[in-house]
Amino acid sequence: MAEKLKVTLREKEFREVIGKPVVRVDAWDKVMGKAEYIDDCPIPGCWYGGTVRSDVPHGRIVGIRQDPSFDWSKVVFVTAKDLPGPNEVAMVRRDMPVLAEDIVNYVSEPIALVAAPTKALLRAALKAVKVEIEPIEPVLTIEEALSGEKIIWGEDNVLAKFEVKRGEVDEAFKEADIIIEETYRTGHQEQLYLEPQGMVALPRDDGGVEVIGSLQCPYYIHGAMTHALNLPPDKIVIKQAVTGGGFGGKEDFPSLLAIHAAVLALKAKRPVKIIYDRAEDMVSTTKRHPSRIRHRTGVKKDGTIVAQDVDLVLDGGAYTTLSIVVLQRSLLHATGCYNIPSARILARAVATNTPPNGAFRGFGAPQSIFAMERQMDKIARTLGLSPVEVRRKNLLKNGDAFPFGQRVEDDGARLVFERALAISEYERKRSEYSKDQGPKKRGIGLSLFLHGGGFTGAGEQKINGKIKLFVAKESVELHVSNVEMGQGAATVLTQIAAQGLQIPFEKVKYCQPDTSKAPDSGPTVASRTTMIVGKIVLRGTEKLILQLKEYVSRHFDVSLGDITYAKGTFFENGTPLADFFEIARRIEEERGPLEVIGDYVHPPELNWDDKKCQGDAYQGYAWGASVLEVEVDTDTWEVRPLRDTVVVDVGTAINPLLALGQVEGGSLQGLGYGYLEVIEMEGGRYRNNRLASYSIPTSVDCPDFFVELMEIPCSRGAFGAKGLGEMPLSGGGPAVASAIEHATGLFPTRLPVTGEILTSLEQEGDERRS
């Protein structure tokens, strides 16, 4: 018999953490002001970097003149000619240059870079550069891009195109009693993370470079930097600094910024940091894609949909960035939560001479869902039915299929819908608010929405995410490339690892992402972290426990099958043998550091055909319903959201408190998209580049939220979790439009529903409700 090992019976220390409102692991540092955002990080000898930009939307660069009266020996100056590698930012495509060389394609496009030892000198140097540009006629709208009169991208200005078809659509339209057509439009939306974009690059002695910054996707930047700097992967390290929000805005753009900072740092031979102020951030970084979506729906008199045609166009801006994947998500969410027996969806993203649009919470879905939900209200209005009736008739049920073929696996859509109607007292309030009111009219509206969790189609297989668990003394480090940006990933992943290992929550340490330590577990996008990466973490924990078990088996000469593990202790037929950290320590002594890699396994039952856009697009669907009450002042057209009842099925809520926060925050961001947030464009230029002129909802505009979490577990997510971070945003826009319709009788077809829109609808003679 082997010597006895320590058994401290950690059972008492262990507590269940799944489904518990554990306090955020980042709370203390943030509340105490100790968290270091990139601009707070002390970096000795660091210079400041800045950008010379285009002031026209389209043109040919004929000269870059450096004022000879400025002392250029004191600063570092970089144009496209000085780049160490290909002038390409490698993302999904490589069509975006690091610096414009010959042609500029949008206002604010980077043309040259400067680094200087002080901010004052940087400002002076930027002023001493004059770029001469010969203007070319720009393409500024979706319509101009589609017309093909001026070609600015490829052969036809189309950045991406997909089509989905189900059934014999033309035949099915013949079965309809009535065909309802409408065109819906949505505008830009600015992510408006609290902390603007910022990045520091530090040259290394071996010719490599390290980048630290505010970012969502360490390995996207890593890939883009290896390409643009022409360096081997091991010469580049990306670290995330504490990040003050991303909302998708720090998914693609940081690749460009990191390359800019690195190019300057390599030339200056010292660290360089580029921190945007709010104005520069707002005019030059990506926004949500504006859309134009045409619906043509064949319906029976009772409201049953028999066929649907959707023509969906997104404005991608000057370069591809993430438009291909944003468009795909738009396409796959185009028919919302409804069962459409015959459907044809054409989706295109087009190029315009405006700043490239990119990822923003929801990623194409908020545009699609707005159009679909409005169309449901239009059907109700046209047929004289209630919005509830029309939705009930067509809701996706367990077993129904989406137009791309995937079958729905639960009744989430119906359950959240009925629950939201019941607890909001929708019917009673609807009839009450329909009675005559004064100039301030109340209205109640609703929306139904969904979110496919994780990457689309084969995306997760391609990424093939990995995580690392490293056993340190008396704690386990979790290394992933998924970042904390406010959404709670650090806490939730810690909960998952602790529960998987059955050790106390405090014994797991989530490590700030660093590509020199963490394997590529994929980007922090598509609400995939909890659901998909959480599952990979769990696989890692199983692997680690198995390794320890094998050691216990050999050490005690007990067959593997007789060993059980629970709450930090290994047992043989109920008798405790040894505890987790004791075994780990022994293995480390014998063989060196103990670490395991958890890897991704694709659910074998899911199949996706990328070319045909058919099959199982997502690993699971989260569902939501919002019932929103608003007050509209018909003298001023001021809209006030009063009360928002939101019921969401998020699968297992790993941390219900954080989940509630995501639902409230996302819903409010969706309401802002719905009635407040206007980006004004003039000649391809964003006019409102400050918070004074770009209004978002503040605490004063926040309605009373009544959020209920419904938990229908999804077997493919960690502990049954579904992707929840983005979904709530999709509900706000259509709910606010629907509530305004009820209050005013006007039928808004575009977002945001501003006073100007309401005035023009009124002037068009849309019927006012008496």
Instruction: By CB under 6 A, tell whether 671 contacts ligand MOS.
Output: no
Instruction: By CB under 6 A, tell whether 598 contacts ligand MTE.
Output: no
Query: Which of the stretches 171-179, 198-206, 355-363, 508-516 binds ligand MOS when contact is defined by CB under 6 A?
Result: 355-363
CB of 725 to ligand MTE, least distance (A): 3
Q: Which of 57, 138, 218, 248 binds ligand MTE (CB under 6 A)?
A: 248
Instruction: By CB under 6 A, tell whether 525 contacts ligand MTE.
Output: yes
For tokens 């939560």, name the residue.
337
Q: Which of 186, 524, 614, 645 binds ligand MTE (CB under 6 A)?
A: 524
Instruction: By CB under 6 A, tell whether 387 contacts ligand MTE.
Output: no
530 binds, among ligand MTE, ligand MOS, none (CB under 5 to 8 A by kind): ligand MTE
Contacts with ligand MTE: how many residues (CB under 6 A)? 21
CB of 291 to ligand MTE, least distance (A): 18
Tokens of 689: 């580049």
Positions in 211-230 near ligand MOS (CB under 6 A): 216
Handedness of CA 712, 714, 717, 723 (dihedral sign): negative
d(CA 426, CA 446): 9
Instruction: By CB under 6 A, tell whether 486 contacts ligand MTE.
Output: yes
CB of 4 to ligand MTE, least distance (A): 44
From residue 688 to residue 727, the character string flagging contacts with ligand MTE as x (rule: CB under 6 A) and all else as - is -----------------------------------x-xx-
Instruction: By CB under 6 A, tell whether 522 contacts ligand MOS.
Output: no
d(CA 540, CA 508): 13
Phi, psi of 619 (to 5 degrees): -80, -15
Residues 6+ apart with CB under 8 A from 730: 333, 362, 365, 366, 369, 370, 447, 449, 450, 451, 624, 670
In contact, 739 and 629? CB cutoff 8 Å: yes
Nearer to ligand MTE among residue 353 and residue 367 (C-beta): 367
Tokens of 19: 């489904």
Residues 6+ apart with CB under 8 A from 396: 337, 338, 339, 402, 408, 413
d(CA 75, CA 54): 21
CB of 511 to ligand MTE, least distance (A): 16
Instruction: By CB under 6 A, tell whether 247 contacts ligand MTE.
Output: yes
SS3 of residue 256 by DSSP: helix
CA nearest to 402, candidates 345, 461, 325: 345
Instruction: By CB under 6 A, tell whether 359 contacts ligand MOS.
Output: yes
Instruction: By CB under 6 A, tell whether 525 contacts ligand MOS.
Output: yes
The burial class, CB within 10 Å (0-12 / 13-18 / 19+), for 709 is middle
CB of 251 to ligand MOS, least distance (A): 5
CB of 326 to ligand MOS, least distance (A): 8
Q: Which of 140, 225, 263, 485 binds ligand MTE (CB under 6 A)?
A: 485
CA nearest to 668, candidates 331, 19, 192: 192
For tokens 């680690």, name the residue.
544
Query: Which of the stretches 353-361, 420-428, 609-617, 702-710 binds ligand MOS when contact is defined by CB under 6 A?
Result: 353-361
CB of 523 to ligand MOS, least distance (A): 8
Where b means 16+ CB within 10 Å and e means fewer, 248-269 reads bbbbbbbbbbbbbbbbbbbbbe
110 binds, among ligand MTE, ligand MOS, none (CB under 5 to 8 A by kind): none
CA nearest to 662, candidates 521, 497, 531: 531
529 binds, among ligand MTE, ligand MOS, none (CB under 5 to 8 A by kind): ligand MTE
SS3 of residue 349 by DSSP: strand
The number of angstroms, rounded, from the C-alpha of 323 to the middle of its chain's C-alpha atoms is: 13
Half-sphere exposure of 217 (CA within 13 A, CB side): 27
From residue 697 to residue 726, the character string flagging contacts with ligand MOS as x (rule: CB under 6 A) and all else as - is -----------------------------x
Element (H, E) at 172: helix 169-174
CB of 363 to ligand MOS, least distance (A): 5
Query: Which of the stretches 122-130, 165-173, 525-533, 698-706 binds ligand MTE when contact is defined by CB under 6 A?
Result: 525-533
Instruction: By CB under 6 A, tell whether 361 contacts ligand MOS.
Output: yes
Positions in 461-480 near ligand MOS (CB under 6 A): none
d(CA 345, CA 234): 44
SS3 of residue 561 by DSSP: helix
Phi, psi of 759 (to 5 degrees): -60, -45
CA nearest to 488, candidates 728, 657, 647: 657
d(CA 393, CA 386): 11
Residues 6+ apart with CB under 8 A from 610: 457, 458
Residues 6+ apart with CB under 8 A from 348: 146, 158, 160, 161, 312, 313, 314, 327
Element (H, E) at 53: strand 47-53
Instruction: By CB under 6 A, tell whether 410 contacts ligand MTE.
Output: no
Nearer to ligand MOS among residue 297 and residue 321 (C-beta): 321
CB of 128 to ligand MOS, least distance (A): 38
Q: Which of 320, 662, 738, 749 binds ligand MTE (CB under 6 A)?
A: 662
Q: According to the 3-state scheme, what is the secondary structure of 616-661?
A: CCCCCEEEEEEEEEEEEECCCCEEEEEEEEEEEECECCCCHHHHHH
User: Which neighbouring-strand residues pair with 79?
Assistant: 112
Q: Which of 166, 239, 292, 528 binds ligand MTE (CB under 6 A)?
A: 528
CB of 535 to ligand MTE, least distance (A): 12
CB of 231 to ligand MOS, least distance (A): 27
Residues 6+ apart with CB under 8 A from 268: 47, 76, 115
Q: Which of 199, 526, 532, 647 binds ligand MOS (CB under 6 A)?
A: 526
For tokens 């103990």, name the residue.
594
Strands 178-186 and 750-751: parallel
In contact, 445 and 359? CB cutoff 8 Å: no
Nearer to ligand MOS among residue 198 and residue 303 (C-beta): 198
d(CA 277, CA 708): 38
**Angle value at C-alpha 441, between 440 and 444, nearest 5 degrees:** 145
SS3 of residue 419 by DSSP: helix
Nearer to ligand MOS among residue 153 and residue 247 (C-beta): 247
245 binds, among ligand MOS, ligand MTE, none (CB under 5 to 8 A by kind): ligand MTE
Nearer to ligand MTE among residue 487 and residue 730 (C-beta): 487
In contact, 199 and 257? CB cutoff 8 Å: yes
Q: Which of 394, 502, 529, 655 binds ligand MTE (CB under 6 A)?
A: 529
662 binds, among ligand MTE, ligand MOS, none (CB under 5 to 8 A by kind): ligand MTE
Instruction: By CB under 6 A, tell whether 487 contacts ligand MTE.
Output: yes
CB of 525 to ligand MOS, least distance (A): 3
Positions in 720-759 near ligand MOS (CB under 6 A): 726
Contacts with ligand MOS: how many residues (CB under 6 A)? 10
Positions in 226-265 near ligand MOS (CB under 6 A): 248, 251
From residue 331 to residue 370, the character string flagging contacts with ligand MTE as x (rule: CB under 6 A) and all else as - is ------------------------------x---------
Query: Which of the stretches 47-55, 102-110, 360-368, 572-580 binds ligand MOS when contact is defined by CB under 6 A?
Result: 360-368
Nearer to ligand MOS among residue 395 and residue 525 (C-beta): 525
489 binds, among ligand MOS, ligand MTE, none (CB under 5 to 8 A by kind): ligand MTE
In contact, 767 and 761? CB cutoff 8 Å: no
Residues that bind ligand MOS (CB under 6 A): 216, 248, 251, 359-361, 363, 525-526, 726
Which residue ranges make up the site for ligand MTE (CB under 6 A)? 245-248, 361, 485-487, 489, 524-530, 662, 665, 723, 725-726
